Structure 1
Amino acid sequence: MKSMTIKQIEQSIEGLDIDKALEKLYFLKSEFGDKVDRIIEKYEKKKLKHEKELNRYLGMCEFEKEAYQRGFSMIAGIDEVGRGPLAGPVVAAAVILPQDAFIEGLNDSKKLNENQRERLFDVINDKALGVGLGIVDEKQIDEINILNATKAAMKLAVQNLDLSPDILFIDSLRLDDIHIVQNSIVKGDAKSVSIAAASIVAKVTRDRMLKEMDKEYPMYGFSKHKGYGTSEHIEAIKKYGICPIHRVSFTKNFVI
């Protein structure tokens, strides 16, 4: 054991959780002395970071905790993305997380970068008890308006869940004609892990759709702005007119 290098020591604790790794490191310190201090310091910082993240996450579980205490067992968080863009669909997601789930880094999708969202999208789909999507395209948005289209997408997301939820946590809205208990939470994507998970699934799904649309209509730059009304997008509409995925009701002021 006394011939172990620092690299070998680090390799010996790979795969261990932080507490187990620290336990082993403090044991090895009796053999190697100060030689191990640098690794111990590294793992102590990891532990502090993990504890801070866990506390933040638990703070976002308060609504869920209250619902479980009231006897609910299947909480579906619901959120949408795409109410504001000039093009493309509105996409909603419904996500049911296990009661004891801890997904490190889970947060409101708007507070995450693309790489973080993509990573969490896979983790959520792997850990969730159920994930449902609802997609309402630009033509229906023009027909029934964006608020009604958003609600329609949310209802579809619930209907597309494999499991039946007994309570819905919805970001800021309430759904009509749906016979499930609802909890409308203002800014819920930042306050509830269930809604935050739904916000990420909806955002990644819609972004991927717009990247595909960019291949068909490259002159608009959909892969860059995802259909939102950036100056670049508006100039492209003025130059090329609208394409089939533009919302007529949103773009009529830009078409010459």
Structure 2
Amino acid sequence: MSSEKKSIGEIRKEFENVQKEAQTEKQQKALDALCLKYAQDGRKGVQVLIERCHKQKEKLQKERERLDVMWQFERQYADCTYICGIDEAGRGPLAGPVVAGAVILPKDCEILYLNDSKQLSAKCREALYDEIMEKAVATGIGMASPARIDEINILQATYEAMREAVRALGVVPDVLLNDAVRIPGLDVPQVPIVKGDAKSVSIAAASILAKVTRDRLMIQYEEVLPGYGFAKNKGYGSADHIAALKQMGATPIHRQSFIKNFV
């Protein structure tokens, strides 16, 4: 059937079938072939489909160029077998644990749109979390409870959670790429990188694991400790959260050292 005999709806369906996940080289070639096949079809609807594909291809190319830059630190340590990114989530909230993530990615791994977790929507973080868990060589999570934070302070509790995350990997990393800090008590060589979650794919992946793990936990806390808005504020000091603290008092997951001004 020639393109002129096909309806625009039928042609659109052809494009949709390969366009949804046109991220691999094979899929992109299939999309390019469709654009070439219908290039001479003068109908506006068909040309709109082709133009949309070209824009998608350009967007994908820019994303791959961005990711290539984010591999710069991993390339510096290419002689290492296991390059581990470390990051944390939850140093600032009034409630809940601090959570650390550790991730070792394969050296040929591509995870599109990987970025600092704070730059991503919750939906995007969830999707990336699943992809990271599927593709990573090893992952680890560590936590320090609110009581532990009160006992040893938030910085030391964060270091403790990070050490736990490294131990949970199941393999011994050759080098740690850390988001800005140097973790005491570890024998592994460390590379602190300021704003590393936006500069290193490994640290970005760790930031997503830590953030999603902690967010899911705070949503669960909302079910057993309603009234503080934990599912929405994730334990941070929003106006509603502070108002609830003043009205109802602290819960077992509040950090006593953080809420002195409110209760």
- TM-score tier by shorter-chain length is over 0.9
| 2:62 matches 1:52 | yes
1:1-256 equivalence runs, <5 A: 1-2=1-2, 3-13=5-15, 14-15=17-18, 17-29=27-39, 32=41, 36-68=46-78, 71-255=79-263
Q: Does the Cα contact within 8 Å between 1:132 and 1:160 map onto a contact in 2? A: yes
Deviations 1:87-144 (A, max 9, x none): 1100000011111111111110111111111111111111111110001100111111
Q: How far apart, CA to CA, are the structure 1 residues paired with 2:196 and 2:39?
A: 46
User: How far off is 1:33 after superposition?
Assistant: 5.0
Structure 1 residue 209: Cα displacement: 0.5
Greater Cα shift, 245-254 or 4-13: 4-13
Q: Structure 1 stretch 234-243 or stretch 34-43: which is displaced more? A: 34-43
Question: What is the number of residues matched between the two proteins?
Answer: 252
Moved over 6 A (4+): none
- TM-score, normalised to structure 2, is 0.91
Secondary structure at 2:178 match in 1: strand
The 3-state SS of whatever aligns with 2:258 is helix
Q: Output the TM-score relative to the length of structure 1.
A: 0.93
Higher helix share: 1
Deviation at 1:34, TM superposition (A): 5.1
- The Cα offsets for residues 17-51 of structure 1, whole Å up to 9 and x where unpaired, read as 22331123213435x45564222211111100100
Looking at structure 1, the residues matched to 42 and 247 of structure 2 have their Cα atoms a distance apart, in angstroms, of 70
- Give the superposition deviation at 1:232: 1.5
Alignment gaps of 5+ in structure 1: none
Unaligned runs of 5+ in 2: none
> Tell me, what secondary structure is at the counterpart of 1:218?
coil
Which stretch has the larger CA shift, 80-89 or 5-14?
5-14
